[in-house]
Amino acid sequence: MRLSLDLPTFADQMAERGWVVFEAAVEPELVTRMRDDLEAAWEICRAIQVKNGVAADADRTVHHLVGLKPSFLDYIDASAPLGPYLEHYFQGRCILNSFGGAINTRGHTSYAQRIHRDIRSYSGDMPLLLNTLVMLDDFTADNGATYMLTGSHKRAEKPDDAAFYAAAERTIGPAGSILVFNSNVWHAGGDNTTDKARRSVTPMYCKPFIKQQYDYPRAVGYDRGDELAPHTRQILGYNARVPASLDEWYQPPERRMYKGDQG
């Protein structure tokens, strides 16, 4: 991974604008594998969405990709250079909160195309949650590049539609770019008016004391933590687990499930 912004520039833009784009950061080979895995993941997720009666509004969206297909775990591994940026934003450690994705296609819309922010309670200056979106295709104005209301992390109120679309900027970028944004920023996926899919994955990160949307250590395997690179083990949440027995709870610091450096 090659990150096009240095840490001070990232910090300034995140503070002022609430979002940045690292252009063409992910290796093209990994982007291709994630694109293929995303299509396969859609088949798996869709079957369960339909079976459980939650298919409406979720068209071409997928969820919890780590543990489902290998390239998504490879992405976490490859994103180690993002670590210092994440730690700067969180002023400490963070873990994966969720890892979804979307295949934005002409004539199909999903909840992600409404104006929204991904943190339900406005957190102001407290960095609880951070969104990222990895572009797996080039993002253009025509294929639904995300709308971002720059600076809107500084206020809690939802803008009305007219004000939002009059002022929002688009996240144009080549495949492999990573959009990073404060989860308090109001945003919306755009409509795809082209014949080709606009695919993305959306790893989100949180402070380690916040509940993950999915038990990623369990999905990957509780006993696999030691095989993983330190960055991957941290991000997946192996250092911030909840004990389920007194035997797991009564442990010396180095063997505790919630490690002392997690905040």
Q: Which residues of the chain form contacts with ligand AKG (CB under 6 A)?
A: 102, 104, 112, 118, 131, 133, 146, 187, 189, 200, 202
Angstrom distance (rounded) from CA 73 to CA 67? 7
Which of 187, 207 has the CB closer to ligand AKG? 187
42: helix, strand or coil: helix
Helix (H) or strand (E) holding 53: none
Minimum distance from residue 179 beta carbon to ligand AKG (Å): 8
Minimum distance from residue 110 beta carbon to ligand AKG (Å): 8
Which of 200, 212 has the CB closer to ligand AKG? 200
What would you measure as the largest C-alpha separation in the chain, in angstroms? 58
Which of 19, 216 has the CB closer to ligand AKG? 19
Minimum distance from residue 184 beta carbon to ligand AKG (Å): 12
Angstrom distance (rounded) from CA 199 to CA 153? 25
Minimum distance from residue 149 beta carbon to ligand AKG (Å): 12
Which of 201, 220 has the CB closer to ligand AKG? 201
Cβ(237)–Cβ(181) below 8 Å: no
Nearest residue to ligand AKG, by Cβ distance, number only: 189
Which of 143, 239 has the CB closer to ligand AKG? 143
Minimum distance from residue 225 beta carbon to ligand AKG (Å): 27
Sheet arrangement for strand 187-188:
169-170, 147-148, 187-188
Residue 60's φ and ψ, nearest 5 degrees, are 60, 30
Minimum distance from residue 203 beta carbon to ligand AKG (Å): 10
Which of 136, 235 has the CB closer to ligand AKG? 136
The secondary structure of 79-146 as a DSSP string is: TGGGHHHHHHHHTS--EEEEEEEEEE-TT---GGGSSB-S-SS--TTS--EEEEEEESS-B-TTTTPP
